[in-house]
Amino acid sequence: MLFKTPKFWQTNNFLSYILTPLSWIYIIVHKTNIAFQTPKKFNKKIICIGNITVGGSGKTPSAITLCELLKKMGLNSVFASKNYVGKNTEAKLINLTKDKASEVSDEPLLLAKTALSFTAKDRIEAISFACANSNENIIIVDDGLQNNRFLADIKILVIDSQIQFGNKKYLPAGPLRESISNINKVDFIFQIGRNKNSIKELSNFKEKIFILTPAYKIIKIPKKKYIAFSGIAYPNKFFNALKQLKIDVIREISFPDHYLYSDQDLKKLEVIAKENSALLITTEKDYVRIPNQKNIHTLIMTLKFDKEQDFIKILKKKLNTK
User: Is residue 49 within 8 Å of 147, Cβ to Cβ?
Assistant: no
User: How far is Cα 302 from Cα 280, in angstroms, rounded to an integer?
Assistant: 21
The pLDDT value given to residue 322: 52
186 and 224 assigned to the same domain = no
The pLDDT value given to residue 292: 79
Number of independent structural domains in the chain: 2
User: How far is Cα 118 from Cα 106, in angstroms, rounded to an integer?
Assistant: 13
248 and 122 assigned to the same domain = no
277 and 250 assigned to the same domain = yes
188 and 259 assigned to the same domain = no
107 and 199 assigned to the same domain = yes
The pLDDT value given to residue 257: 93
The pLDDT value given to residue 1: 62
User: How far is Cα 102 from Cα 219, in angstroms, rounded to an integer?
Assistant: 26
User: Comparing C-alpha atoms, which of 88, 93, 73 is closest to residue 135?
Assistant: 93
Range of the domain at 249: 216-302
155 and 290 assigned to the same domain = no
User: How far is Cα 27 from Cα 36, in angstroms, rounded to an integer?
Assistant: 14
Q: Is residue 23 part of a domain?
A: no
Q: Going residue by residue through the chain (322 aa), what tens digit of pLDDT does each one get?
A: 678 899 999 999 999 999 999 999 999 999 999 888 899 999 999 999 999 999 889 999 999 999 999 999 999 999 999 998 889 989 999 999 999 999 999 999 999 999 999 999 999 999 999 999 999 999 999 999 999 999 999 999 999 999 999 999 999 999 999 999 999 999 999 999 988 777 888 989 999 999 999 999 887 788 999 999 999 999 999 999 999 999 999 999 999 999 999 999 999 999 999 999 999 999 999 999 998 777 899 999 999 999 999 999 999 999 986 5
Count Cβ atoms below 10 Å from residue 5 Cβ, excluding itself.
Answer: 22
248 and 153 assigned to the same domain = no
User: Is residue 46 within 8 Å of 162, Cβ to Cβ?
Assistant: no
pTM of the model: 0.94
Q: Is residue 20 part of a domain?
A: no
310 and 201 assigned to the same domain = yes
The pLDDT value given to residue 199: 86
Q: Is residue 124 part of a domain?
A: yes
Q: Is residue 133 part of a domain?
A: yes
SS3 77: strand
68 and 153 assigned to the same domain = yes
The pLDDT value given to residue 2: 74
269 and 296 assigned to the same domain = yes
108 and 207 assigned to the same domain = yes
